[in-house]
Copies of this chain bind each other. A is one copy, B any other.
């Protein structure tokens, strides 16, 4: 992509409304624009990141056996009356009346609807286990939306719902999602820790939040230091027993404020106690028959008996993750994207558009990158070099390649690694291959 044909509206000044780094950087880097309180347009650079995150989430959900569908944003109020949650949600639920005076709502979550779908179609235990997920825009009418996409009103969420014949099977479904979540966040370059959590309006008695430690986190969290060094489970057999992976992590203390026990925490050796701020990026629940019983979602068991299914639900804040990743990955100059979610892998700083040797070198780089599915953004504008370098630092592409008249004459390019700041000169083809190799190692191409 050529910058001259792209739409990247950078802001020169720090926006006043932004209180945290991710909000400030997303506005400065032309990723989002606020349309109403807590409601954003995703500009091209922001959308590219959002799509990359969505792709990783889908990939890991499907690896763990979840099947994608898509429920609508608008739901009927009657459906929510069946579960008894229509009134519970209060003013956070955006209520709507259509032209025929029917009461509708913009879905804040989908337990009711998925239960209705299940009940409509599934009759026998033979269809289980089943885990259905979707990635859809939700709406929660927060009193005070803030921190940009971290606490918006219209937000993109992945929610999965598992259906099982009994509690033991449902706990295995819970474990599959537990492991899938750790892998998902690790692929995005994040260290997420599963912590005991409150179930809130979803209900149930077993729940974990997946938390990223960051100074700007909205919640206070407590955990054992060893959890920080534990790698994600990685390539596991999702048909097999995953309880070891889960126990390894849940046997160490980790709790959100609501579930925190100071007495338990103080039993940890002092140098193992971590008390910090955290950002919730995922939340999983086991709630058994809470929805299936009142809504009559039952299956016929092998013995002929009809029994309500055991359910769980599993959320990931897809749009919030864009902000969370920036909170975890930035410096004073701008964003530092992990390779797997970067909107482009490489920025090509073209210092002399119109100079035939430079144009040819840039074209050659672009061809090498295209052949290997490396996404590049070429700054072919007539800005000064300094402004182009600052732009690359701000938008945080993993690698910046500079092509100028001197290098073009001698066949050299300069490569800058955004994360370390390290720079080196290399012959053009070697440099391109070096980047391609590094991106491939990082699982980005």
In the complex, the answer to whether A70 meets B50 with C-beta atoms within 8 Å is: yes
Chain B residues with CB under 8 Å of A41's CB are: 69-72, 113, 117
* A281 and B94 alpha carbons, distance in the complex (Å): 31
Q: How far is the CB of A52 from chain B (nearest CB, A)?
A: 13
Q: A35-B113, A117-B33 are in contact. Are A132 and B7 (CB under 8 A)?
A: yes
Q: A5-B67, A36-B76 are in contact. List 13 more A-B contacts (CB 8 A).
A: A5-B65, A7-B130, A9-B120, A33-B120, A36-B74, A39-B72, A39-B74, A42-B70, A47-B69, A50-B70, A73-B73, A73-B154, A74-B94
17 contacts between A and B (CB under 8 A): A7-B130, A9-B120, A41-B69, A41-B71, A44-B67, A46-B69, A48-B68, A72-B137, A73-B73, A74-B94, A74-B139, A74-B154, A94-B96, A94-B98, A96-B106, A99-B141, A106-B106
User: Which A positions have Cβ atoms within 8 angstroms of B?
Assistant: 5-7, 9, 30, 33, 35-36, 39-44, 46-48, 50, 65, 67-76, 79, 91-92, 94, 96, 98-99, 102, 104, 106, 113, 116-117, 120-122, 130, 132, 137, 139, 141, 143, 153-154
In the complex, the answer to whether A36 meets B104 with C-beta atoms within 8 Å is: yes
In the complex, the answer to whether B69 meets A44 with C-beta atoms within 8 Å is: yes
A42: which of B33, B69, B76, B139 is its contact (CB, 8 Å)? B69
Most chain B CB inside 10 Å of its own CB: which residue of A35, A72, A94, A106: A72
A91: which of B65, B99, B102, B117 is its contact (CB, 8 Å)? B99
Q: How far is the CB of A302 from chain B (nearest CB, A)?
A: 14
Whose C-beta in chain B lies nearest to the C-beta of A6?
B67
Secondary structure call for the A interface: mixed
* A343 and B408 alpha carbons, distance in the complex (Å): 48
In the complex, the answer to whether A74 meets B121 with C-beta atoms within 8 Å is: no
* A129 and B264 alpha carbons, distance in the complex (Å): 63
Chain B residues with CB under 8 Å of A153's CB are: 74
In the complex, the answer to whether A141 meets B98 with C-beta atoms within 8 Å is: yes
Chain B residues with CB under 8 Å of A121's CB are: 7, 9, 30, 33
Q: How far is the CB of A80 from chain B (nearest CB, A)?
A: 12
Q: A98-B94, A106-B74, A141-B98 are in contact. Are A69 and B7 (CB under 8 A)?
A: yes
Chain B residues with CB under 8 Å of A117's CB are: 33, 41, 43
Chain B residues with CB under 8 Å of A30's CB are: 121
Chain B residues with CB under 8 Å of A46's CB are: 69
Chain B residues with CB under 8 Å of A35's CB are: 71-72, 75-76, 79, 113, 116
* A395 and B67 alpha carbons, distance in the complex (Å): 18
* A132 and B154 alpha carbons, distance in the complex (Å): 21
* A75 and B39 alpha carbons, distance in the complex (Å): 8
Whose C-beta in chain B lies nearest to the C-beta of A104?
B36
